[in-house]
Copies of this chain bind each other. A is one copy, B any other.
Amino acid sequence: MGPGPSCVSDSVYAALARPTIGHLDPFFIEIMDTEKKNLKTIFRTGNELTLPVSGTGSAGMETCFVNLVNPGDKVLILVNGVFGTRMADVAGRLGANATVREFEWGTPVLVDAVREELAKQKFAIVAVVHAETSTGVRNPVEEIGRIVKDHGALYLVDAVTSLGGIDVRMDDWSIDAIYSGTQKCLSCPPGLAPISFSSRAVEKLKARTTKVPNWYLDLSLIMNYWEGSKRAYHHTAPINMVYALYQALYDLLAEGLEKSFARHADAHAYLVAELEKIGLTLLVAPESRLPMLNAVRCPEGIDEAKIRSRLLDEHKIEIGAGLGPLAGKIWRVGLMGHTARHENVDRLITALKHVL
């Protein structure tokens, strides 16, 4: 019940432990094709370039920036937490001319401020985190997408924690590059980063005059393994992780995306109500709260780290600590994927009553 990894179902563990076959085996290619199709459904996109990158969620972030940033590109990064800050670090290392617009942690990115920045200068890329895992804030990705589209920049979105738990509509929201992780609302162990690039993003990638400065994450090479008839070997895919994600996506689509979103919303509402009964409140204003990541204010005069240790040691429940300016001030309670169930909320509340 921390900020991820989330609980994994038995079906996904079983898939993970299936016999390892070759990365060019025709049966494995079939698995890849189905996984790609299901990722497109879940991202709500028709983008051909949709696949899981062979690394964890942060490798997805690295992939989006390293393939799309040309040195000197003006990039606007909207920051209201750890993962926005990380985007700025990643982009800066790649030679981007980055403008960082900061917002108070625990509050959302303001659409008017984005409009203001875009009026000041022309950006090649605008980047934002959908679900800021460090604060529990949902950023207005759809609204920002409208103004980024008018501006003409590429729109890069972090959907690590949102995908599978709240709606992510890549095409409708004019997103050009998106990445996620397997260990949040997809309820799969960590190890892969689903990504998708729009045709505009692919055009920019193909128009590069220099090679992508990262061989391992160069999508112009990787797409030749995941697409078409040639299936050119690039690197050995993490076969068993691909099996696990296959099963996790299958399970999510078997439940249905809308039902999964409703289950997350319901578990969240129940958690908030039960926390209130024991006098605990949330950091984030109701209209910007994420269902899958709940930032709970630590009561005054309490050793918050000790509470977390006792939850883990005595009750086998993990919750997360606050980060950066929120260290010591909040706990982060995850209700992600398979974890988003009333019985887990009940177990946490019972344990909290014990240890507080």
Indicate if the CB atoms of A20 and B215 lie closer than 8 Å: no
A48 shortest CB reach to chain B, Å? 23
A275 CB within 8 Å of chain B? no
> Bound state CA distance, A237 and B7, in angstroms?
15
Q: Considering the chains assembled together, what is the distance between the CA atoms of A211 and B323 in angstroms?
A: 23
CB < 8 Å neighbour of A191 from B58, B234, B238? B238
Instruction: Report how far A317 CA is from B23 CA in the complex, Å.
Output: 14
User: Does A90 make an interface contact (CB < 8 A)?
Assistant: yes
**A152 in the interface, Cβ–Cβ < 8 Å?**
no
Contact in complex: B189, A239 (CB < 8 Å): yes
B4–A236 CB distance below 8 A: yes
- A313-333: contact bitstring with B at CB < 8 Å (1 yes, 0 no)? 000001000010000000000
Would A236 and B183 count as touching, CB distance under 8 A?
yes
Min CB gap A264→B, angstroms: 19
A181 to chain B: closest residue by CB: B236
Q: Are A22 and B5 in contact (CB under 8 A)?
A: yes
Q: Is the CB of B5 within 8 A of A190?
A: no
> Which chain B residues lie closer than 8 Å to A95 at the CB level?
213
Query: How large, as a class, is the contact surface on chain A?
Result: 35 or more
C-alpha spacing A59/B190, complex, angstroms: 16
Contact A13 B2 (CB under 8 A): no
Q: Please state if B54 and A318 are interface contacts (CB–CB under 8 Å).
A: no
Known: A14-B17, A190-B238, A191-B238. Contact between A55 and B216, CB under 8 A?
Answer: yes
Closest residue of B by beta carbon distance from A7: B20
CB of A50 within 8 Å of the partner chain: no
Number of copies: 2
The residue among A8, A19, A20 with the most chain B CB atoms within 10 A of its own CB is: A20
Partner of A59, one of B8, B58, B216: B216
Contact between chains at A236 and B62 (CB < 8 Å): no
A214 proximity list for chain B (CB < 8 A): 62, 66, 93, 214
Q: How far is the CA of A38 from the CA of B90 in the complex (A)?
A: 32
* A191–B313 alpha-carbon span in the complex (Å): 30
A117 CA to B17 CA, complexed, in Å: 48
The listed residue (B189, B216, B237, B312) touching A240 by CB distance below 8 A is B189
Chain B residue with minimal CB distance to A25? B318
A205: interface (CB < 8 Å): no
A113 sits at the interface (CB 8 A):
no
Q: Which residues of A contact B (CB under 8 A)?
A: 2, 4-5, 7-8, 13-14, 16-17, 19-23, 25-26, 54-59, 61-62, 66, 86, 89-90, 92-95, 181, 183, 189-191, 211-216, 233-241, 244, 312, 318, 323
Instruction: Identify 22 residue pairs between A and B in the complex whose beta-carbon atoms are under 8 Å apart, listed by A's number.
Output: A5-B20, A5-B239, A7-B20, A16-B240, A25-B312, A55-B216, A57-B235, A62-B215, A86-B215, A90-B215, A93-B215, A94-B213, A181-B236, A183-B239, A189-B239, A189-B240, A190-B236, A190-B237, A190-B238, A191-B191, A238-B238, A240-B244
